Chain A
């Protein structure tokens, strides 16, 4: 009895957590009139009723999607901008982050503990603290208002190094020693042992990092003055009588890549989250 009660409570909680997302999805399939009727208090000064939170479109339609995909060129530009930011950032994190994580996990060198502590502290810093530092150097390098101004600082993120470090640390020393006895050099050990065995960690870090990159708000807003360079995460559609439907559809399209990555990499995501725990 008590058990059933707990399950029911947990289910209700899950329902509440998902309600906003389901509302958004169903709204994106509603016709203009239906959505307008539901959102009437938001669109006009009408105060005799509340916004209707219904979840089932009476006449489901794809019109909103067609409109946003056919008639909104700026939406495409922003979607493409998001890709142009996300892919290089993740590439950079792989290129420099994976070796760094391996170096921290399996080698001893002077000041290692201190440097690693600095990495942990940097990963904790909110963007606003390092905003000015970033700006000063990006300005000096003449990168302000280019995509590189967002890509470079994010590409050297210490968070992904930390996640991968956790996975690499779990690789037993004996395997590496055995490979060395067989004559493998440091690079060979890295290429043929670390990369395949630690691949789960690398994917986990990349899933977390994708969700982060797809959601960049502060960085592009601060460093890209030219709005035509902004990513989709800054696409804030106006909810006005004529555009409510497309606003809903646009936000669903922005959601799709993140949800796909989430579904495909869910186990990795969970393992990545667990790896973000400080165990030592």
Chain B
């Protein structure tokens, strides 16, 4: 592309970039500055705000819960959606219809979900009634340690369809010829899945991990509308804490925490990318080895 092409490109992205600068990037620099100053006098306090939040009990609770939530809900969602996709992949007729059904929860507004959740997870609710059939005692789901699992469930319910669509796109992209070759070599179903299907899904796996992470932050909406500012301790997430600090105008703590979370997310995005890209060549080698053996 010639020199004028450069300016044309900048011209096309400029309106969007200016908006991003004004509404996010520049004010974020101000947040970084604030994270090193005190909230009232605005004087330089060095790393004090960071020390304060790391020593803060609410921050520790929220950070541990958020991390625990991510580590539990993401593998469940990713694993479940992968197994459903593998099953759906071979069902041409039902496959498309069922895929649509799985996507429906994506369109259900949070406020509607909240009503359903109240009815399902009330102490005398439908779920308690169901387990009552098996002689188990009623559980007050939202006000006990199970609240965390209700959150995991609602995350999986909402995002399974999204991930199934992605996995199926990944599965469809694997050429049939590789499967044929493996079958000719006498590979069994499970062997084919481990040695051909999985390695070939590397790139899709990267995307799905990133998007599952992105969507996991949105679970706060349900959590907040169902349980408010101070839910059961087991589901008190970083988002609750940020929200409460914002309301209390603890801008010093809020800005330090925002900087930390921003750094963590940036590192995760960059790291995940590297992880999956580096694995690519190894997978190709494996495939070759499998074929030659």
Contact = CB atoms under 8 A, between A and B. Distances in A.
Tell me if chain B binds chain A: yes
B104 interface: yes
Interface in A105-120: 106-110, 112, 115, 118-120
Interface residues of B, number: 99
Interface string B205-237: 011101101100110110011000000000000
Contact of B6 (A17, A39, A110): A110
Interface stretch (B26-34, B42-50, B190-198, B285-293): B26-34
A29 to B, nearest CB: 15
B8 A118 contact: no
B262 interface: yes
Given A108-B1, A123-B214, A137-B23, A273 B162 contact: yes
B124 to A, nearest CB: 3
B112 A255 contact: yes
B279 to A, nearest CB: 14
B12 A100 contact: yes
A152 B23 contact: yes
Interface stretch (B14-22, B144-152, B174-182): B14-22
A23 B258 CA distance: 40
Interface string B105-117: 1111111111110
A247 B115 contact: yes
Contacts of A186: 5, 8, 11
Contacts of A112: 9
A245 to B, nearest CB: 12
A172 B26 CA distance: 36
A218 interface: yes
A203 interface: no
Could you say which interface size class chain A belongs to? Answer: 35 or more
A201 interface: no
A87 interface: no
A68 interface: no
A236 B110 CA distance: 10
Nearest to B105: A17
Interface string B252-283: 00110010011001100100010000000000
Contacts of A270: 99, 103, 165
A108 B5 CA distance: 7
A42, A97, A133, A232 — most chain B CB neighbours (10 Å):
A133
B12 A129 contact: no
A259 B108 CA distance: 7
A169 to B, nearest CB: 14
B106 A277 contact: no
B128 interface: yes
A262 interface: yes
B27 A136 contact: yes
A126 interface: yes
B101 A115 contact: no
Nearest to A260: B107
A103 B108 contact: no
A58 B265 CA distance: 51
A173 B226 CA distance: 50
A124 B122 contact: no
A112 B12 CA distance: 12
Given A100-B17, A126-B218, A255-B109, 8 more contacts: A6-B91, A47-B138, A50-B138, A122-B20, A132-B254, A136-B27, A152-B23, A273-B166
Interface of A: 3, 6-7, 9-11, 13-14, 17-18, 20-21, 23-24, 39, 41-42, 46-47, 49-53, 95-97, 99-100, 102-104, 106-110, 112, 115, 118-137, 152-153, 155-156, 158, 161, 186, 190, 211, 214-215, 217-218, 222, 232-237, 239, 247-248, 251-252, 254-255, 258-259, 261-262, 266, 269-270, 273-274, 276-279
5 contacts: A13-B84, A47-B124, A132-B251, A218-B243, A279-B203
